[in-house]
Amino acid sequence: MGADSSVAIQVGAPRVEFAVDVTLTINGKVAHLNIDPRVTLLDALREHMHLTGSKKGCDHGQCGACTVHVDGRRVLSCLTLAAAAKGKHVTTIEGLADGGELHPMQQAFVDHDAFQCGYCTPGQIMSAVALLGEDCAPEDDDVREGMSGNICRCGAYPAIVAAVQSVRGRR
């Protein structure tokens, strides 16, 4: 019986081949992970950190649902290996609000009803917040181009453009 229980403990803690230690800062908090290098930043956030706001849509860099900020720039967490984000500062949708106060872009999405099912919304908002700091020309078409990496299957695009433009002071 004693021998059997030690086997059970090993099954519960399998050895991960090529595991790497990764320290990164997520929404201002330092996180230490020991992970398989195959773990993407998206899976590290969702499955290891239990931050499920960032969404897995296509998992191939074609939909933008997984958009987060790494060192202040919007990137796709599904094509970023967590091990390659070592030492970086990551901001997710969970890190946008200031306590109970929504980020102006979050509030604008609510005010403009800029979603239907909501699945793409965290990625849309992370992209839109980054766009505010980028070199984006003023017109609606410029916002459409700047937001082209975020697909919305419900087709909420007109309201998304309106929300982004309202925060930019263009509506």
Mapping DSSP onto H, E and C, the string for the chain reads CHHHHHHHHHHHCCCCCCCEEEEEEECCEEEEEEECCCCEHHHHHHHHCCCCCCCCCCCCCCCCCCEEEECCEEEECCCCEHHHHCCCEEECHHHCCECCECCHHHHHHHHCCCCCCCCCHHHHHHHHHHHHCCCCCCCHHHHHHHCCCCCCCCCCHHHHHHHHHHHCCCC
Judged by phi (left if over 0) then psi (alpha if -120 to 50, else beta), residue 134 lies in beta
* Contact criterion met (CB below 8 Å) for 163 and 151: no
Beta carbon of residue 79, minimum distance to another protein (angstroms, whole number): 5
Of 62-121, which residues contact another protein (CB under 8 A)?
A: 64, 67, 73-76, 79-81, 83-84, 86
**Closer CB to another protein, 19 or 111, in the complex:** 19
Beta carbon of residue 2, minimum distance to another protein (angstroms, whole number): 33
Beta carbon of residue 71, minimum distance to another protein (angstroms, whole number): 10
**Closer CB to another protein, 1 or 15, in the complex:** 15
Report how many residues bind another protein under the rule CB under 8 A. 33
Of 130-159, which residues contact another protein (CB under 8 A)?
A: 130-131, 134-135, 144-146, 148-150
**Closer CB to another protein, 4 or 134, in the complex:** 134
Single out the segment in contact with another protein by CB under 8 A; choices: 1-9, 31-39, 44-52, 94-102. Answer: 31-39
Where do contacts with another protein occur on this chain (CB under 8 A)? 17-18, 20, 36-38, 40, 59-61, 64, 67, 73-76, 79-81, 83-84, 86, 127, 130-131, 134-135, 144-146, 148-150
